[in-house]
Amino acid sequence: MERLKNLGIVPINKDILYSLYSDLKRPDEKVSELERKGLIIRVKRNLYVVSQKVHNQKISSELVANHLYRPSYVSLDSALSHYGLIPERVYAMRSVCMTLHKQYDTPLGHFEYIKVPDKYYPIGISQQIVDNEYAYLIATPEKALCDKIVTTQNLRIQSVKAMNEYLEEDLRFEMSALSSFDVDIVAACIEFGKKKTELTQLLKLLQNGK
């Protein structure tokens, strides 16, 4: 049990698990036993996390999301909720990626990945360090909002007024937070992303409030 506890909450593959029990003749059987007993949780093929009942720590869905599908970072509703910018509780962990749209139903919940253009992807990614023990990638508040706008189908916003109404009425966004937004991140999203008209209205809204 102590061997597993030392792994903490960072997702791991079978090679790491096998190395823990390299003194055994059949480490694969030991790994299967650990899974049956609920001491490790298989998130997908060749990706596991140690159960909370071993290390008594909360498993980070954000950290799991980063490892489940790479490269990716937590964004959209999940990041907006994380920052307290929207009131709704988010039940799916939503991330942004550069490859294919993907969804996973796991014992730890539902994970969704939305594709964006390669040059747009790296803008506004932040590393969140938790208790000096682990870190995960998450969109900054500005990028998370841009991601939400860019990836929402059939969203057409042609004016600053319409953008303001979208934020206040549709997203129930914490409007006071806009005063601290970095306009350079939004400007970069306009340059490299889609829905330039909509993002331009967001930029104008931010500039009007400065």
What digits encode the pLDDT tens for the residues 154-163?
999 999 999 9
> What is the mean pLDDT of the segment spanning 2-24?
91
Q: Are residues 43 and 76 in the same domain?
A: no
Q: Looking at the DSSP assignment, which residues form a beta bridge with residue 136?
A: 128
Q: Which residues of 104-132 are buried (b: 16+ CB within 10 A; e: fewer)?
A: bebebeebbbbebeeebbebbbbebeeee
Distance, CA of 80 to CA of 87 (rounded, Å): 9
| Residue 121 and residue 59 in contact, taking contact as beta carbons nearer than 8 Å | no
Residue bearing tokens 């490269």: 71
DSSP labels, 157-171: --SHHHHHHIIIIIS
Residues of the domain holding 28: 2-55
Query: Above 90 in pLDDT, residue 146?
Result: yes
Residue of higher predicted confidence among 5 and 162: 162
Confidence of residue 199 (pLDDT cuts 50, 70, 90): very high
Q: What are phi and psi of 41, to 5 degrees?
A: -120, 125
Query: Out of 88-92, 102-106, 185-189, 196-200, which region has the weakest mean confidence (pLDDT)?
Result: 88-92
Residues 124, 21 within the same domain = no
Closest CA to 49 of 111, 99, 103: 111
**pLDDT tens for residues 23-82?**
989 999 999 999 999 999 999 999 999 999 999 999 999 999 999 999 999 999 999 999
Same domain, 13 and 83: no
Share of the chain above pLDDT 70, in %: 100
Beta carbons of 44 and 106 less than 8 angstroms apart? yes
For residues 110 and 152, membership in a common domain is answered with: yes
Same domain, 139 and 180: yes
Are residue 34 and residue 83 in the same domain, yes or no?
Answer: no
- Counting the structural domains of the chain, the total is 2
Same domain as 75, residue 46? no
pLDDT of 210 higher than 60: no
Kindly report whether the global pTM for this prediction surpasses the value 0.95: no
Q: Cis (ω within 30 of 0) for the bond into 71?
A: yes
d(CA 32, CA 51): 14
